A = this chain, B = another copy of it.
Amino acid sequence: MSHAQQILETHPRTLGTPLGPLVACIDACFDCAQSCTSCADADLGEPDVETMIRCIALCDNCSDICISTGRVLTRQTEFVPEVARVALQACIEACRQCGDECERHAQEHEHCRICEEVCRTCEKACNDALTALAA
């Protein structure tokens, strides 16, 4: 059980999203932010760095969007579904594009294979949170 779940279980107000999909989404966003920063950095250290430029740029963008989305979802005291929704949509697209690019390098670079997996998980978790929000 993550600390995201532990703290949200003690939250003084009613959550704007069901706990299960909310925690999964927050955890996935912070995990993906870390993985994308790490993959971009590993790309920079590869001998074929010139072929990794697009991967670096997409990882950097995905990491930043994951941080902001993970924080927006974390804030439940005055939860504004309209803001959560657009943040999730941005995160879904960033993860999808980053996952697609990492997939292209997954055979040569194991860090890209792992990062692709983390991006797919985050994309799915954001989609699930979006569905839970609409319900």
Chain A residues with CB under 8 Å of chain B are 2-4, 6-8, 10-13, 26, 30-31, 33-35, 37-39, 41-42, 44-47, 49-50, 53-54, 56-58, 60-61, 63-65, 67-68, 70-72, 74-80, 82-83, 85-87, 89-90, 92-94, 97, 109-111, 114-115, 118
Q: How many copies does the complex hold?
A: 4
A62–chain B nearest beta-carbon distance, Å? 8
29 A–B pairs (Cβ distance < 8 Å), ordered by A = A3-B31, A4-B34, A4-B38, A6-B114, A7-B42, A10-B109, A10-B111, A11-B42, A26-B34, A41-B57, A41-B75, A41-B77, A44-B53, A44-B77, A45-B77, A53-B77, A57-B78, A57-B80, A58-B80, A60-B75, A61-B87, A64-B67, A65-B68, A65-B72, A65-B87, A80-B97, A86-B93, A87-B90, A89-B90
